[in-house]
Structure 1
Amino acid sequence: MPGTRKLGRATSHRLAMLRAMVTFLLEKGRIETTVTRAKEVRSLTEKLITLGKEPSLHNKRLAMGFITKEAVVKKLFDEIAPKYADRNGGYTRIIKTGPRRGDAAEMAIIELI
């Protein structure tokens, strides 16, 4: 598990939240969340895209174990990873958008480049 941010959640809740956010980011291409969550999602997403660059059965099974939707895994290996074949990392971008109304948490948009 990359990073040491606990995000104010129990381990099982944190893992479930991050899996859902990574799945949604790969499905939609962009999400809005807090800066600390975006940084955690970035590291996990970049590792999965790197896995997708080599479409072996082992890598597909590793991705299936983390991503919650089978269609998103197919999209990762068929569309997303080949787009970054000549790139060595840096597949995502985090753009800070300012404080959230209500609790003033620093918000950010994370998107695939």
Structure 2
Amino acid sequence: MAAPTKGPRLGGGPAHERLMLANLAASLITHKSIKTTETKAKRMRPVVERLITFAKRGDLHARRRVLATIGDKTVVHELFTEVAPLVALREGGYTRITKLGFRKGDNASMVQIELVLEPVTPKPKSAKKTAKAGASASVVADEVVVEEPVADEAAAAPAADETTEAPAAEDAK
């Protein structure tokens, strides 16, 4: 019976691919940026994203899950203590792949994959969203104006009673 195959295995069997991706992930965590082929980078990205998500959890079980993939305790410690706090507010997209061109020897497409460690900045609102927000703000402002006279009427009610009493006092004279 033929051995089952499911897609390319990056020059080896499944065990070789798993070890190679773990080594690439460890190098990426250590150096924060590595240069590799496009195929390896695309295959490594989900592995690294999953490891960083575990590191963000920070508990013992997550640390052991990462240690099952990356055997080096110093790399795992660096991931949990240095990388995870920097990406704590980021909801994914921890890596960036930038194309570099082609390798001279075999014309393989080369890329640089790096960890995105910059702080997250909120996206600027589009013109349509700001217009809707401005319209809803004016509606809220109108509602506030409507509510203020109600409060003034309660305060003005005793004054109205005084004015009604004053003409009654004049009629009594």
Same fold judged by TM-score > 0.5? yes
- State the distance in 2 between where 1:79 and 1:91 align: 14
Write out aligned runs for 1:98-113 (5 A). 98-113=101-116
DSSP 3-state at the match of 1:6: coil
> In the alignment, what sits opposite 1:47?
50
Greater share of helix residues, 1 or 2? 2
Write out aligned runs for 1:60-99 (5 A). 60-99=63-102
> In the alignment, what sits opposite 1:38?
41
- State the distance in 1 between where 2:29 and 2:8 align: 22
> In the alignment, what sits opposite 1:25?
28
Equivalent pair of 1:5/1:40 in contact (CA under 8 Å): no
TM-score by length of 1: 0.93
- State the distance in 2 between where 1:33 and 1:9 align: 17
Of the three residues 56, 60, 70, the one matched with 1:57 is 60
- Structure of higher RCO (CA pairs closer than 8 Å, 6+ residues apart): 1
Instruction: Name segments (4+ residues, structure 1) moved above 6 Å.
Output: none
Q: Which runs of 5+ in 2 are unaligned?
A: 1-6, 117-173
TM-score by length of 2: 0.61
Q: Which runs of 5+ in 1 are unaligned?
A: none
- State the distance in 2 between where 1:52 and 1:110 align: 19
- State the distance in 2 between where 1:44 and 1:106 align: 21
DSSP 3-state at the match of 1:97: strand
Aligned residues: 110
- State the distance in 2 between where 1:84 and 1:90 align: 10
Structure with greater Cα Rg: 2
